[in-house]
Amino acid sequence: MSTKSGLRLGIGLPQVVSGGHADAGLIREFAQRAEALGYEDLWLTDGALGARALLEPVTLLAYAAACTQRIRLGVSVLVLNQHNPIQLARALASLDQLSGGRVIAGLGLGGGTDLYPAFGIGKERPVARFTESLKLMRALWSEERVTLDGEFFHVEGAAQEPKPIQQPLPVWIGGHAPAALRRAVRLGDGWMGAGATRTEDFFKEVAQVRALLQEHGRDPEHFTISKRVYIAVDATEAQAKERLVAGFTGQYGNARMAESAGLAGTPKQVIDVLRSMRDAGLQHLLLHPFYDSMQQLELLTSEVAPEL
């Protein structure tokens, strides 16, 4: 879905499992309805370890791909250093094949290195590992034979087939620290602002990204500036905030995040904030409803999207 101003809208796909059983019917209904309403893409989050009951994102997107025909598919973001890049490259290439070329590879460094030992890797030089992993994945997606004698990975004359349909497969890099913004501009095809950070920080970050694009000689027409916004819309601000608190509790196990992150209010209240983000240079907006997914999808489409 593109608004009258040209802002492209994506939507967060239900991913949290409640009561121990995934509601495949709800996921299918939501994906198909979002596509029928004209949304550009469906998005998920990543998190291999933790108490949050989240379905694995690449698997879930493969299900969504089978339920839909046009809508694009992304993860915001896959924590790259918690994945083997060879296996992840193969999974995303397979998803791109099965979906007919609809994948956006959202990648990020994640929130820290504490979990690295669980994945069998050391905590040292995480940025170098991330950069080398992405280099290896892009080579596997595009080259007939890959040789890489790196700091972390050693591959000689390796082949991986099939390649993604999209050449190149678009890579959006997430993050909010200054170094992450520089990394996104240097290595990515787009940048997605993190949804769990303060909305007001976006304005500072997008100004930095635009300056970095100019500094690196990147064409802003070929680089997407995006933002995930966890959102709750209701008849009153108080009711909307209750929804947002419930959403952060279910997704992150942290109700206090609603005090600084996300956006809750009446349609008019959220429209005013989203318009200001659009006017600051936002090209793509990922709306992520936490709660009553189908109801929020319809409300966002009828009351919010037309005003952007």
DSSP labels, 18-59: BTTB--HHHHHHHHHHHHHHT-SEEEE---SSSSS-B--HHH
* pLDDT single digits (tens) 143-195: 999 999 999 999 999 999 999 999 999 999 999 999 999 999 999 999 999 88
For residue 252, the model assigns a pLDDT of 76
* pLDDT single digits (tens) 235-258: 999 999 998 998 888 777 788 888
Binning pLDDT at 50, 70 and 90, where does residue 136 land?
A: very high
Q: Alpha carbon of 230 to those of 62, 248, 260, 282, 286: distances in Å?
A: 23, 9, 11, 16, 8
Taking the C-alpha atoms of residue 30 and residue 35, their distance in angstroms, rounded to an integer, is 9
* pLDDT single digits (tens) 193-221: 988 788 889 999 999 999 999 999 999 99
Q: pTM of the entire structure?
A: 0.95
Report the DSSP pairing between strands 78-79 and 171-174: unpaired
Domains of the chain: 8-213+222-230 (3.20.20.30)
Helix (H/G/I), strand (E/B), else coil: 74: strand
- Write down the number of H helices and E strands in the chain: 9, 12
Q: Are 160 and 87 in contact (CB under 8 A)?
A: no
* pLDDT single digits (tens) 51-106: 888 999 999 999 999 999 999 999 999 999 999 999 999 999 999 999 999 999 99
As a whole number, mean pLDDT of residues 1-20 equals 88
* pLDDT single digits (tens) 99-130: 999 999 999 999 899 999 999 999 999 999 99
For residue 255, the model assigns a pLDDT of 82
